[in-house]
């Protein structure tokens, strides 16, 4: 089957997280028909994660996630039916990332070389599936290079290979004041006011700039504090969402934030917000990595040009790249996480050809 037909079948299978089961069944059957040995490792609730291997000692792995976000906004077409208009293929997940999966499947069907395929659930949430899989590193023995089929773009130009992504962590800041009667504000310390001062002070936090994967950024995502009586609030909290760059991790950035904020108001503390899973850390695969050079040469051959870019936010690649070099290359698409998502038909066909050549090499 061609990639477009695989994409048509995949779009018709609803797989909004946490309901990836039917998509997992579909993928497992197809991979087995291509000669793969398939291991299904489930998250709670029967949510599948697949590690499939073909041939002896594969060194190349393809990765994709099976879940989508909900069908946000007002669609002009049925989001669960693939519709072609003016060279664009519309459907929920067509770009993010069933188009990439369809290209992988079509390429695998037309080849018989050794390869691994890794498919996850929960990427659009907290990457629980990828964290589960990397907790079992023996599954990936021998893998030297992973290609994620996430949609990649550099402006409006096809051929961009994403070499890395920023990481992410969330921090909770607890601010301590001193209670007093509301009629005597001078006797207390209003924790909400102090928290507000600290939030505004973050405008001057020294962000790391101009790394290979861009610059660090942060925003305050939530603030809370209250008192139920006529008293000055003695506690308040706020949460900082940070996109991390190379040389940073969740712990080191926590230390930097605490030192900065305590220098302004000592009666505060900063901790890593526990979401129940590790946060996805930044990664970067240099373009001179031999496998990346091979991919770049194939992209140039098929598309006519190649370029390198980085991802502004996190994805499952962040998790797997802690084990081996990883890059992203998928078909060109738009409107993911919004209405009228689509993938470019020509780019999808090109992507399948690129994967096929990469498998053979």
- What per-residue confidence (pLDDT) applies to 156? 66
160-200: pLDDT as tens digits = 999 999 999 999 999 999 999 989 999 999 999 999 999 99
* Cβ-proximal residues to 297 (8 Å cutoff; 6+ apart), any chain: none
158 and 43 within one domain: yes
pLDDT at res. 129: 98
The gap from C-alpha 231 to its chain's centroid, in whole angstroms, comes to 44
Looking at residue 155, its pLDDT comes to 64
The pTM of this model reads: 0.93
* Structural contact between residues 90 and 71, judged by C-beta atoms closer than 8 angstroms: no
Instruction: Say yes or no: 257 and 137 in one domain.
Output: no
Are 208 and 248 found together in one domain?
Answer: yes
The pLDDT value recorded for residue 228 is 82
Residue 298 inside a domain? The answer is: yes
Range of the domain at 265: 168-272
What is the DSSP code (8-state) at residue 154? B
* Total Cβ atoms within 10 A of residue 343: 35
Query: Measured between alpha carbons, how far is 69 from 139 in angstroms, rounded to an integer?
Result: 28
Q: Is residue 318 a part of any domain in this protein?
A: yes
- Supply the Cα-derived Rg of the chain in whole angstroms: 23
Residues 145 and 176 in one domain: no
DSSP 23-68: HHHHHHHHHHHTT-EEEE-PBTTTB--EEEEESSS--EEEEEE--B
* pLDDT score at 269: 98
Using the structure block, give the residue that is written with the tokens 């797997």.
320
Q: What percent of the chain has pLDDT over 90?
A: 95
Tell me the DSSP string of 274-339: --SSPPPPPEE--TTSHHHHHHHHHHHHHHS--EEEEESS--HHHHHTTTS-EEE----EE-TTSS
- Of 272, 298, 328, the residue that ends a domain is 272
Domain boundary among 272, 296, 325: 272
Q: pLDDT band at 252, cuts 50/70/90?
A: very high
pLDDT average, residue stretch 96-113 = 97
pLDDT in the model for residue 313: 93
The 10s digit of each residue's pLDDT in 11-70 is 999 999 999 999 999 999 999 999 999 999 999 999 999 999 999 999 999 999 999 999
pLDDT band at 152 (very low <50, low <70, confident <90, very high): confident
Instruction: Identify the domain boundary among 272, 303, 324.
Output: 272
DSSP secondary structure string for all residues of 189-222: B-HHHHHHHHHHHGGG------BTTB--EEEEEE
Residue 168's nearest CA partner among 17, 316, 9 is: 316
CA–centroid distance for 64 within its chain: 10
The answer as to whether 277 is a domain residue is no
Query: Over the chain, what is the mean pLDDT?
Result: 96
107 phi/psi in degrees, rounded to 5: -65, -40
Q: Domain check: are 161 and 185 in the same one?
A: no
* pLDDT tens, residue by residue, 203-232: 999 999 999 999 999 999 999 999 888 999
Look at residue 143 and tell me whether its pLDDT is greater than 80: yes
Same domain, yes or no: 34 and 130: yes
Q: How many domains are contained in the chain?
A: 2
Q: Tell me the mean pLDDT in the region 257-286.
A: 98
Cα separation values, 252 from 6, 169, 191, 288, 328, Å: 44, 11, 26, 29, 27
pLDDT at 7 over 90: yes
Name the pLDDT band for 157 (thresholds 50, 70, 90).
confident
Q: Which residues are catalytic?
A: 67, 123
Q: Token pair of 354, please?
A: 């690129």
Rounded to whole angstroms, the Cα distance separating 132 from 41 reads 8
Count Cα neighbours of 56 within 13 Å in the Cβ-side half-sphere.
0
Give the rounded distance of the alpha carbon of 127 from its chain centre.
Answer: 7
Residue 227's CATH number: 3.30.70.360
- The CA distance from 84 to 262, in Å, is 56
């Amino acid at each position: 089957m061609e990639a477009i037909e695989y994409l048509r079948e995949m779009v018709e299978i609803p797989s909004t997280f946490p309901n990836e089961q039917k998509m997992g069944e579909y993928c497992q059957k197809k991979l087995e028909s291509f000669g793969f040995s398939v291991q299904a490792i489930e998250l709670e609730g029967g949510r599948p994660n697949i590690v499939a291997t073909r041939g002896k000692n594969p060194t190349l792995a393809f990765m994709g996630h099976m879940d989508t976000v909900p069908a946000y906004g007002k669609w002009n077409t049925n989001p669960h039916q693939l519709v072609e208009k003016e060279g664009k293929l519309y459907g929920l997940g067509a770009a993010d990332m069933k188009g990439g999966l369809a290209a992988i499947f079509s390429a695998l069907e037309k080849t018989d070389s050794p390869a691994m395929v890794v498919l996850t659930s929960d990427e659009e949430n907290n990457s629980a599936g990828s964290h589960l899989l990397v907790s079992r590193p023996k599954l990936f023995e021998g893998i030297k290079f992973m290609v994620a089929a996430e949609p990649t773009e550099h402006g409006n130009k096809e051929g961009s290979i994403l070499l890395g992504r920023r990481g992410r962590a969330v921090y909770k800041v607890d601010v301590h004041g001193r209670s007093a009667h509301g009629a005597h504000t001078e006797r207390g310390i209003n924790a909400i006011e102090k928290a507000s001062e600290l939030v505004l002070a973050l405008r001057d936090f020294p962000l790391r700039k101009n790394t290979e994967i861009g610059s660090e950024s942060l925003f305050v995502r939530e603030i809370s504090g209250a008192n139920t009586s006529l008293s000055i609030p003695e506690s308040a909290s706020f949460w900082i969402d940070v996109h991390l760059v190379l040389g940073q991790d969740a712990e080191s950035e926590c230390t930097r934030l605490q030192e900065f904020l305590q220098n302004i108001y000592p009666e505060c503390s900063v901790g890593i917000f526990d979401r129940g899973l590790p946060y996805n850390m930044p990664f970067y695969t240099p373009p001179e990595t031999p496998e990346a050079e091979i991919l770049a040469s194939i992209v140039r051959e098929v598309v006519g040009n190649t370029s390198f870019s980085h991802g502004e936010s996190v994805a499952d690649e962040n998790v797997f790249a802690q084990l081996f070099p990883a890059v992203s290359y998928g078909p060109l698409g738009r409107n993911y996480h919004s209405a009228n998502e689509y993938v470019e038909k020509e780019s999808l066909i090109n992507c399948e050809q690129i994967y096929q050549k990469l498998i053979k090499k």
